[in-house]
Structure 1
Amino acid sequence: MTRIACLHTADSNAAVFDEALVTAGLTGVSLHHAVRADLLAAAERQGRLTPEIAAETVALLRGLSAGAGAVLLTCSTLGPAADDAALDSPVPVLRVDAALAAEAVEAGGRVVVLCAVETTVGPTRRLFEDAARATGATIDVRVVPQAWAAFKAGDRDRYHARVAEAADAAWAAGATRVALAQASMTGAAARLPADRRPLTSPAVGLAAAASRARTVPPKGP
């Protein structure tokens, strides 16, 4: 059995990743969910991922490695902390949007990346631009207006509707690929026709973590 520990900053993302596990067809994989919404809230107050918030996130990720085959950070704002945690972790530590970025830029062209929260823009742009160097893709990172306010108000329907509208507009303007930077945006994809659905991170991120994970021996009686 492969055990993946997920660090979320939104309670609702646990269900998103449980569903993505099925979508990805990953048998023999179990998920452990840890939620620290306060970390994203702190980054929003500061307007960025500060060294202090990053250090706390790194410590949490390293702690989650105990008993796990891999650790997956599902918050795009905190994403760079996964790279730091991976340096001396006993198991792979990944950021969920890394696999998304690789998939999005694979065909080159113009990639539009949608974000809901401002603090995600910087880490997301750096990640996607780094991935794009290998393919020549151009990266356009945008914030979806009013989406995050809807999410924080608990109105998931309006949140996903705003994201779907922005994705549809990006396709209409000639995007080669459209990607949703945050895992919480995943539900918006199903609102668009199959040939215009944006790329999302949970399933590909879990698949990447599973492919690199170490098998955790079963516990004794």
Structure 2
Amino acid sequence: MRISFLHTMDGNRQVFEQAAKTLGLRPEDIHHEVRAYLREAVDRTGAFSDELRAQTNQRLLALAADSDAVILTCGTLGPAVADIKRPPVPIVRADIALAAAAAEVGGRIVVLCAAESAIEATRKLFTEHASKRAASVEVVHVGHVWALFKAGDIQACLVAAASSADAAYEAGATVVAFAHPWMAAAVGLVQKGRRPLDSPSAALHAATQRFSERLGRA
């Protein structure tokens, strides 16, 4: 099975590669494409224009032509996926896969979101999925984690993310979800509660599952 990723941050390659390795995928089974300018254009203009949506879809379909599944790792570009009515292969939004995985666990879901600009979109997405399972959602802004990330102090950033997850479990969370892909590296540092959910693992699980379902219908 060949899986391609469309990223807007080069740093996300590593966490998705690690998740793929955990699932037993070989390095030659995965392909990364980084298009930072797409996210940068949204940040610069404050809008995800029709032109940017079209460019995103163009890249997704180009990757799909040589893949068994495609994963879009940037939540900002996620709405473009809905424009592709009949994708040739499964195209998975990493943020939706994470929200769906959290809803499947149910109970009290706590989502740790580092970037303030992503809070409302994250809350809307998780609440939409949780409502189908009678679960509750709390999005917690961990601004100190974001500050460390932007400062380049990655180890301290991951320790802070894990500490925030531990605190959420101590406060009664059923499951903690890390809103940003790069936070997946903190999963192994969490000491309390169940293993936190991360979008690289959730997205790859969804992609392989949907690929298997397609094979079963073929």
TM-score (norm 2): 0.85
Question: What are the residue-to-residue correspondences of 1:6-21 with 2, within 5 Å?
Answer: 6-21=5-20
Please give the alpha-carbon distance, in whole angstroms, between the structure 1 residues aligned to 2:140 and 2:43.
Answer: 17
Range that drifts further, 28-37 or 44-53: 44-53
Counterpart for residue 146 of structure 1: 144
AA matched with 1:203: S
AA matched with 2:57: V
Please give the alpha-carbon distance, in whole angstroms, between the structure 1 residues aligned to 2:83 and 2:33.
Answer: 19
Range that drifts further, 142-151 or 130-139: 142-151
Question: What are the residue-to-residue correspondences of 1:55-204 with 2, within 5 Å?
Answer: 55-85=54-84, 87-193=85-191, 195-204=193-202
Please give the alpha-carbon distance, in whole angstroms, between the structure 2 residues aligned to 1:41 and 1:77.
Answer: 10
Please give the alpha-carbon distance, in whole angstroms, between the structure 1 residues aligned to 2:135 and 2:153.
Answer: 34
> C-alpha displacement at 1:207, in angstroms?
1.9
Query: Which of structure 1's runs of 4+ aligned residues deviate more than 4 A?
Result: 26-29, 46-52
- Tell me which protein shows more helix as a share of its residues: 2
Range that drifts further, 155-164 or 46-55: 46-55
Please give the alpha-carbon distance, in whole angstroms, between the structure 2 residues aligned to 1:191 and 1:57.
Answer: 34
Range that drifts further, 41-50 or 160-169: 41-50
Please give the alpha-carbon distance, in whole angstroms, between the structure 2 residues aligned to 1:121 and 1:202.
Answer: 19
Structure 1 gap ranges (5+): 216-221
Query: Are 1:80 and 1:123, in contact at CA under 8 Å, matched by a contact in 2?
Result: no
CA distance 1:210–1:116, change in 2 (3 Å): same
Counterpart for residue 29 of structure 2: 30
Query: Are 1:49 and 1:119, in contact at CA under 8 Å, matched by a contact in 2?
Result: no
Please give the alpha-carbon distance, in whole angstroms, between the structure 2 residues aligned to 1:36 and 1:94.
Answer: 17
Query: Are 2:166 and 2:193, in contact at CA under 8 Å, matched by a contact in 1?
Result: no
Counterpart for residue 4 of structure 1: 3
Query: Are 1:82 and 1:95, in contact at CA under 8 Å, matched by a contact in 2?
Result: yes
Q: Which has the higher contact order (CA 8 A, sep 6+)?
A: 1
Structure 2 gap ranges (5+): none
CA distance 1:28–1:42, change in 2 (3 Å): closer
TM-score (norm 1): 0.84
> C-alpha displacement at 1:69, in angstroms?
1.1
Query: Are 2:175 and 2:193, in contact at CA under 8 Å, matched by a contact in 1?
Result: no
> C-alpha displacement at 1:197, in angstroms?
3.4
CA distance 1:144–1:31, change in 2 (3 Å): same
CA distance 1:160–1:84, change in 2 (3 Å): farther
Please give the alpha-carbon distance, in whole angstroms, between the structure 2 residues aligned to 1:49 and 1:182.
Answer: 19
